[in-house]
Chain A
Amino acid sequence: MAVKVIIPTPLRPYAGKQESVEMEAGNVREALKGLTTRFGELKKHLYSDDGRLRSFVNVYVNDEDIRYLEKEETQLRDGDIVSIVPSIAGGTGK
């Protein structure tokens, strides 16, 4: 399935400074795998050492949090938008 993965500003330095990446993927796991294969540095920002998605990084398919769908097994359809939304704490821009 042709999907678009949106990369948030804090992770763009580890993803070739790209805002989004278009790729073929059948589910969320494949999409993220495709991303980390292309951008190796991104891996440690998305996954902890035991291979689980980090708890301060949420992944959405369109507007739904994958934790409330089938997690990384969530199926993707053509045109789906996968968003990576990490926790940011800034308030004053230090």
Chain B
Amino acid sequence: MASKIKIPNLPETGNPSVALSKEEITRYSRHLIMPEVGMDGQLKLKQAKVLCIGTGGLGAPLGLYLAAAGVGRIGLVDFDKVDLSNLQRQILFDTNDIGRPKIEAATNRLRNLNPDIQIDNFETRLTSENALDILKDYDIVVDGTDNFPTRYLVNDACVILGKPNVYGSIFRFEGQITIFGYPGGPCYRCLYPEPPPPGLVPSCAEGGVLGVLPGIVGAIQAAETLKLIIGKGEPLVGRLLLFDALAMRFRELKLRKNPECPVCGGHPTITKLIDYEEFCGIRGEESASPAQTSVPEISPRELKTRLDRGDDLFILDVREPHEFQICNLGGHLIPLGELSRRVNELDSSREIVAHCRSGKRSAEAVEFLRSAGFRKVLNLKGGILAWSDEVDASVPKY
């Protein structure tokens, strides 16, 4: 059903005045010899304008495949710099790119891959102020971002501008993929009217991702984008594709347009972009939890001084066992989730310093222990990351 609908701005046939050069014919020959793409489809690709938001895990395979396929104009939006820990999955970058702006490294890589296409770069964070202006020139938007405020921003901007939004998101071994904002189809808010409150999103203990997962999900986004452009096949509209790499299983759920949707429903209440950080209940990604700001703390240097002095301090590590294996301060390991039932392992008469990776989970641990009657409990400020920065650089950061 949905495949018959025309997407605004996308040509129904390739413009014959935009011919392919001899080199381009060779470059795209494996497309050209398939009737589903052919010359007509390849010319459509050449005239298409696609905006990729994010050049990280999802954006990497996406950008590479769109560029390789000959999408004539690709916009990239990112503000980040390449970090060593990105290279496990962000295959647009290599070791020499560490420290470079992602947008610069990505543009370079895509230009080398295909010099015949135009790459536009936007080295900026997508905001309510700039989103409509950046999105307006493109036919299709592909969402490869990594946070709820930007997800809702991209969704609302696409609905307002009437542009399809090829959506993919990942978590550990799982991915979700669909197309939002397709004419007559559902949007992100139809699926999830509201984001989770910050306290309920998985903490760093539960984060992480199998490096190849964004590769698979991003490649599916690329496939859907190319299908939309050439107008062939059945687009992933009204269907939420779930992928589980551990089980190696794809499942499909029905996704319906919500007639009451505040953005794309019959009587929309959101007709312009809003403050998405406020909507998502956060101010910046690293906003401190209430516990983090109110519990008694000790700085890494202070802890080092007191340990060297021989003070009797009990180091409590509230991370997960697999994190303890990466690096540790020789503390007693009780993961935060087990603390309430293992509290009897602790001696309330001793002074306890709790730590985790960054200080957030241990702040919760300190708060819990204080409520359980422990009087002498301190949180190691900044966690093992700060310890590595300020006291012992041989402790690896992860």
Collect the chain A residues with CB atoms within 8 Å of residue B194's CB: 55-56
Binary interface encoding of chain A residues 59-80 relative to chain B, with 1 for a CB under 8 A from any of its CBs, else 0: 0100111011000000000000
Per-residue CB proximity of A80-94 to B under 8 Å, as 1/0? 000101111111111
Instruction: Please determine whether A8 and B174 come into contact, CB atoms closer than 8 angstroms.
Output: yes
List 6 additional A-B contacts (Cβ < 8 Å) besides A90-B207, A92-B214: A10-B202, A65-B254, A85-B176, A85-B240, A91-B58, A93-B56
Range for the number of chain A residues in contact with chain B = 20 to 34
Interface check B273, CB cutoff 8 A: no
User: Does the CB pair A58–B171 fall under 8 Å?
Assistant: no
B12 close to chain A: CB less than 8 A: no
How many chain B residues sit at the interface, stated as a range, is 35 or more
In the assembled complex, 20 residue pairs joining A and B whose CB atoms fall closer than 8 Å, in A order, are A8-B174, A9-B172, A10-B172, A13-B337, A56-B194, A63-B254, A65-B253, A65-B255, A65-B256, A85-B240, A88-B170, A88-B174, A89-B147, A89-B151, A89-B169, A91-B214, A92-B59, A93-B89, A93-B170, A93-B207
Q: Is B57 an interface residue (CB 8 A)?
A: yes
Residues from chain B with a CB closer than 8 A to the CB of A9 are 171-174, 244
- Cβ of A19 within 8 Å of any chain B Cβ, yes or no, is yes
A54 within 8 A of B: yes
Given A56-B195, A83-B253, also A90-B169 (CB < 8 A): yes
Whole-angstrom distance between the alpha carbons of A60 and B253 in the complex? 8
**Which B residues, 207 to 241, have Cβ-Cβ distances below 8 Å to chain A?**
207-209, 211, 213-214, 240
Q: For residues 232 through 262 of chain B, which have their beta carbon under 8 Å from a beta carbon of chain A?
A: 240, 242, 244, 247, 251-256, 258
- Give CA–CA (A45, B252) in the complex, Å: 23
A58, A85, A86, A91: the one within 8 Å of B144 (CB): A91
The distance in angstroms between the C-alpha atoms of A92 and B200, with both chains bound, is: 19
Contact partner of A13 among B151, B173, B206, CB < 8 A? Answer: B206
Most chain A C-beta atoms within 10 Å of own C-beta, residue among B143, B200, B255: B200
In chain B, residues 68-101, which have Cβ atoms closer than 8 Å to a Cβ of chain A?
86, 89-90
Nearest neighbor of A87 in chain B, beta-carbon distance:
B192
How does the 8 Å CB contact mask read for A34-45 relative to B, with 1 for contact and 0 for none? 000000010011
Cα A54 to Cα B195 with chains together (Å): 10
Enumerate chain A residues within 8 angstroms of B191, measured Cβ to Cβ. Answer: 58, 87
A54 to B193 Cα, complex, angstroms: 10
Residues of A participating in the B interface, judged by any CB pair closer than 8 Å: 8-10, 13, 19, 41, 44-45, 54-56, 58, 60, 63-65, 67-68, 83, 85-94
Q: With a CB–CB cut-off of 8 A, which chain B residues contact A55?
A: 192-194
In the complex, how many angstroms separate the beta carbon of B53 from the nearest chain A beta carbon? 9
Q: Which residues of A contact B207 (CB under 8 A)?
A: 90, 93-94
Is the pair A19, B56 in contact by a Cβ cutoff of 8 Å? no
Query: Which residues of chain B are within 8 angstroms of A8 by Cβ–Cβ distance?
Result: 174
Cα A83 to Cα B253 in complex, Å, equals 9
Of all chain A residues, the one with the shortest Cβ separation from B149 is A89
Chain A residues whose CB sits within 8 angstroms of the CB of B151 once the complex forms: 89
Q: Which residues of B contact A13 (CB under 8 A)?
A: 206, 337
